[in-house]
Amino acid sequence: MRKLPLRRVATLLLPLLLGAALAQTFGRPQYGSFSVVIVAIFAALLWRTPQSSMRARAKRGALMGLLFGLGWFAGGLWWLYISMAVYGGMAAPLAASAVVLFSAYLALYPLLAGALAAALAPPATSRPWHAARGVGAALAFAGAWTLAEVLRGTVFTGFPWLALGYAQVGNPLAGYAPILGMYGVDFAAALTAALLAALTQVSLRGAALAAGLLIILAVAGQQLANVRWTHPTGPQFTVALLQGDVPQGEKFRPERLAPTLSLYGNWLTTLRADLIVTPETGVPVLPEDLPPSYLHTIATALRSHHAQALLGIPLTRGANQYTNSVLGIGAAAPYRYDKAHLVPFGEFIPYGFHWFVRLMHIPLGDFARGTFHQPSFAVDGARVAPTICYEDLFGEQLAQRFRNPAHAPNVIANLTNLAWFGDTIVIPQHLEIARMRSLEFQLPTIRATNTGATAIIAANGRVQAMLPPFTVGVLTGHVQAYAGLTPFAWAASQFGYAPIVLVCLLALGVAIALARTRAR
């Protein structure tokens, strides 16, 4: 009688622990392949149900997906607590509850994936699955998993942080990024995991087929990584990426403003580089609150050095509207970029949640949005596309700037401030995301951050140079602009998320067809 409760506890605890283990693979590219193994174990557990009823299998799969998701997101996004409790002034119990509730919301998506994948898989029996049923179950898992990930990345403005595809930047599956973007890598990783899990379920013939498909996936990914869709254009230009390491607790204090302005003002007026980039809100106040000659002095010095700068600064638009923006300084024509994809609660307040934001003390918490079609900043003939912090998670939205190939970006420039989250895994997690954007578009990415990771990323997604996090310094280097469109850049610019959704639906359709054929 005692064995049943213990077995039940183990059944509930194992997916939770697997999700927590998956969370630890993000921001650690050397362990990215382990993420596939962990998801494979989850898939194998998902299929270990003997119920013949699809409804019963879906119910069990939903519970396992929910528990897996809770471990995954709570284990990988715990640093959100720091922004709310330490810097937002929220009571610790309320901040911790907010992280748990947010993780529970995000876990609804693996819940959906688990329910669908389990429902479409055959019941577990003492006899091995036929090869066709094994392949069908693997396709159903990959399609359901990736479709749920796309939903998580789009519903309520989306939150694709910790998507499985990001953990693959250091392995052969990253080769699918220029073809179908991060979600294409996500699908390849989920399919790989499901085929690994199928090895424990299928017949000898099925195992041989699954092994063959695994080899094809890995080899194809490696070969695709060697295909160049973009090419160098124009001469290299020099960059200076600024990392001020201004503590978040001090950044908006009046007594800290003068040292911050002096630090960045000195860099901007004395450094010699074709392009100088500050972090997000490197200048943390509106232009009208600056010393009268501050921006003019910087612009004059830049022009005398034949240099230009991208300056992170809040701006106004109309009456009582603020924008999280980038100013282009030193160019002949004025340039401004307004952040298009804002952070819920941090930069805009969702309807009905003003009471929640009032519990925190974050300045400028409700910004106006920019558009997804803003022009790039011209530097020595190269088009540099700014993104601000969180919005570089959305490759399909960045792809909108590639709709007109004649004006497509040649370099991506990300301005970020992660000081809200302290010295945590969030910094390498975000670097991993930036590397994926370079892989998708086969363009170099330059990152100027307040606390890290300030880096130069090559068009092949590799980090060429990086400053140590939480140091004050300047990262200098040469950047080669690239021209051309990857298949992902073209398809996403024209059709958004439709191509990867179609892939998922086709996988689910084939899975259903295989199941019906075998049933007959």
CATH of the domain at 295: 3.60.110.10
Q: Is the pTM of this model over 0.85?
A: yes
- What does the pLDDT read at residue 360? 59
Q: Are residues 224 and 240 in the same domain?
A: no
Angle between helices 177-198 and 426-441 (to 10 degrees): 120
Q: Residues of 158-177 as b/e, b for ≥16 C-beta within 10 angstroms?
A: bbbbbbbbbbbbbbbbbbbb
Q: Are residues 186 and 242 in the same domain?
A: no
Residue 490 within a domain = no
Q: Are residues 274 and 388 in the same domain?
A: yes
The amino acid at 110: P
Active site residue 280: yes
Point out the catalytic residue in the list 339, 396, 440, 504: 339
- What does the pLDDT read at residue 363? 52
What does the block give as tokens for 33?
């392949």
Distances (CA, A) of 301 to 223, 270, 400: 47, 8, 34
For the chain, list residues with pLDDT below 70. 1-5, 346, 349-365, 517-520
Residue 377 within a domain = yes
Contact 111, 69 (CB under 8 A): yes
Cα–Cα distance measured from residue 229 to residue 234, given in angstroms and rounded to the nearest whole number: 17
Active site residue 432: no
Cα–Cα distance measured from residue 312 to residue 296, given in angstroms and rounded to the nearest whole number: 16
Give 204's Cβ-side CA count (13 Å radius): 0
Q: Are residues 164 and 34 in the same domain?
A: yes
Which residue carries 């069990």 as its tokens? 60
What does the block give as tokens for 306?
């034949």
Cα–Cα distance measured from residue 27 to residue 31, given in angstroms and rounded to the nearest whole number: 9
Active site residue 251: no
Domain count, the chain: 2
Q: Are residues 401 and 428 in the same domain?
A: yes
Stated length of the chain: 520
Residue 320 within a domain = yes
Q: Are residues 213 and 255 in the same domain?
A: no
- What does the pLDDT read at residue 251? 84
Q: Are residues 76 and 201 in the same domain?
A: yes
Q: Are residues 383 and 332 in the same domain?
A: yes
Cα–Cα distance measured from residue 382 to residue 362, given in angstroms and rounded to the nearest whole number: 36
Point out the catalytic residue in the list 389, 396, 432, 504: 389
Cα–Cα distance measured from residue 228 to residue 245, given in angstroms and rounded to the nearest whole number: 37
Point out the catalytic residue in the list 280, 391, 396, 432: 280
Q: Are residues 469 and 450 in the same domain?
A: yes
The amino acid at 214: L
Q: Are residues 189 and 76 in the same domain?
A: yes
Residue 491 within a domain = no
Cα–Cα distance measured from residue 379 to residue 383, given in angstroms and rounded to the nearest whole number: 6
Angle between helices 54-76 and 92-106 (to 10 degrees): 140
Q: Are residues 140 and 281 in the same domain?
A: no
What does the block give as tokens for 130?
């036929």
- What does the pLDDT read at residue 352? 60
- What does the pLDDT read at residue 1? 43
Residue 492 within a domain = no
Residue 509 within a domain = yes
- What does the pLDDT read at residue 420? 92
Q: Are residues 270 and 324 in the same domain?
A: yes
Q: Which neighbouring-strand residues pair with 474?
A: 242
- Domain extent, residue 310, equals 233-485
Q: Nearest-CA neighbor of 138 among 67, 188, 172, 63? A: 188
